[in-house]
């Protein structure tokens, strides 16, 4: 190898080493810069997300504390906070003090429906002194009162001068007339909570699947009509007792062809679990993430649900749904899960 080639090779090696050193220093500097950005609070990395989650957790604790204080001040059985999502026009009960169970979290209602929907739509306080006797609509339009066995309630808007965040509900499980002073205390506490919600910025949505919300009355839903008719038939014919509750009004948005399939499945279930006068059946319509869940609870013991309900298993499997069945405290729990995605529903409607 001559001197010229050796010199060229040396220059090449030096160049490669220089590039590698530069890359290493660049990566090292980038990490330091990223760390500095995180400390400055301008990064949107996992570190900051965890920090925001911790802050929101603290604000959540602060809101619950305010609700507990109000509960003690006016000696109420129940306090609930519903949050309004203007993008979907959905209202969900997020926090509660004095709840008998966690079912309130599964309630989803529409703007203008139920006590929370009316408060938000009208932006004013609503009182119910003797539920269900002094409500204009059907009691099933007020799922929070049914789930928590409330007799008297006062619901006030959680709002500031710019927007309505939700509803603060104060409830009693026996008949009670809330005074003007108690109403003012509830309104004052609702304003304090509105400030907390603004601070938490809980309305910032990272991802959102926009869907068209149809203004359909729940009684126009053929599935609900079927439940009401079957309830009347079973109870009158003394073939047991059928009760149902609608905790999520998304059922009205499901295509009627899909509702017919649900009716066919439920008819098959009721024909088996509702035959004797001692039979008891409870049906709940709720939402679990991206699924609508129709839960049927029966006191009838069945040896093999897979064998008895084989047709239902097959039907739901064909449309992307699923079934969960189990026994708990001598009761059969039978859950039909139906996907709510627009793509799946369009397939189901074919």
Same domain assignment for residues 274 and 164: no
CATH number at residue 303: 3.30.565.10
Same domain assignment for residues 195 and 109: yes
Measured CA to CA, the distance from residue 93 to residue 76 in angstroms comes to: 18
Give the residue from 71, 93, 70, 92 showing the smallest Cα distance to 80: 93
Contact of 120 with 166, CB cutoff 8 Å: yes
In a domain, 186, yes or no: yes
pLDDT of 59: 78
Same domain assignment for residues 191 and 231: no
Helix 310-318 with 256-273: angle, nearest 10 deg: 160
Q: How far apart are the first and last CA of the chain?
A: 78
DSSP letter, residue 103: G
H/E stretch holding 158: strand 152-159
Same domain assignment for residues 193 and 225: no
Burial of residue 201, with CB atoms counted within 10 A of its CB: 0-12 exposed, 13-18 middle, 19 or more buried: exposed
Measured CA to CA, the distance from residue 218 to residue 252 in angstroms comes to: 6
Which residue range is the domain that position 269 belongs to?
218-348
Same domain assignment for residues 223 and 110: no
Residues 6+ apart with CB under 8 A from 96: 78, 79, 80, 81, 104, 148
Q: Structurally, how many domains does the chain consist of?
A: 2
From first to last of its 350 residues, what are the pLDDT tens digits of the chain? 554 555 555 666 566 666 566 665 555 444 443 333 232 333 433 433 555 555 567 778 889 999 999 999 999 999 999 999 877 788 999 999 999 998 999 899 888 889 999 999 999 999 999 999 988 888 889 999 999 999 999 999 999 877 889 999 999 999 999 999 999 999 999 999 998 887 665 444 322 333 333 455 666 788 888 998 898 888 888 788 999 888 877 777 777 777 888 888 889 888 888 888 899 999 998 877 777 889 999 998 776 666 777 788 877 777 778 888 888 888 888 888 887 764 344 444 44
Same domain assignment for residues 178 and 279: no
CATH number at residue 128: 3.30.450.40
Measured CA to CA, the distance from residue 295 to residue 338 in angstroms comes to: 11
In a domain, 45, yes or no: no
pTM of the model: 0.59
Same domain assignment for residues 160 and 105: yes
Measured CA to CA, the distance from residue 127 to residue 134 in angstroms comes to: 10
């Amino acid at each position: 190898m001559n001197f010229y080639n050796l010199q060229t090779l040396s220059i090449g090696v030096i160049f490669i080493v220089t590039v590698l050193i530069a890359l290493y220093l660049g990566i090292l500097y980038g990490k330091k810069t990223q760390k500095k950005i995180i400390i400055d609070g301008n990064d949107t990395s996992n570190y900051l997300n965890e920090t925001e989650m911790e802050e929101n957790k603290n604000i959540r604790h602060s809101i619950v504390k305010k609700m507990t204080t109000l509960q003690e001040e006016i000696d109420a059985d129940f306090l609930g906070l519903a949050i309004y999502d203007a993008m979907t026009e959905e209202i969900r009960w997020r926090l509660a003090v004095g709840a008998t169970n966690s079912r309130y979290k599964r309630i989803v209602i529409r703007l203008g429906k139920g006590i929370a929907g009316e408060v938000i739509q009208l932006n004013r306080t609503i009182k119910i002194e003797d539920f269900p006797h002094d409500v204009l609509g059907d009691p099933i339009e007020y799922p929070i009162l049914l789930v928590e066995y409330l007799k008297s309630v006062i619901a006030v808007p959680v709002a500031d001068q710019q927007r309505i965040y939700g509803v603060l509900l104060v409830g009693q499980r026996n008949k009670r007339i809330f005074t003007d002073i108690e109403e003012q205390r509830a309104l004052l506490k609702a304003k304090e909570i509105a400030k907390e919600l603004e601070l938490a910025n809980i309305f910032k949505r990272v991802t959102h699947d926009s869907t068209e919300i149809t203004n359909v009355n729940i009684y126009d839903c053929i599935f609900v009509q079927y439940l009401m008719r079957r309830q009347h038939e079973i109870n009158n014919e003394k073939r047991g007792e059928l009760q149902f509750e609608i905790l999520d009004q998304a059922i009205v948005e499901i295509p009627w062809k899909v509702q017919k399939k649900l009716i066919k499945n439920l008819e098959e279930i009721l024909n088996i679990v509702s035959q004797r006068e001692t039979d008891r059946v409870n049906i709940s319509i709720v939402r679990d993430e991206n699924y609508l869940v129709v839960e049927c609870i029966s006191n009838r013991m069945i040896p093999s649900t897979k064998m008895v309900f084989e047709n239902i298993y097959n039907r739901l499997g064909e449309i992307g749904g699923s079934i969960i069945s189990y026994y708990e405290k001598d009761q059969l729990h039978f859950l039909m899960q139906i996907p709510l995605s627009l793509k799946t529903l369009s397939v189901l409607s074919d």
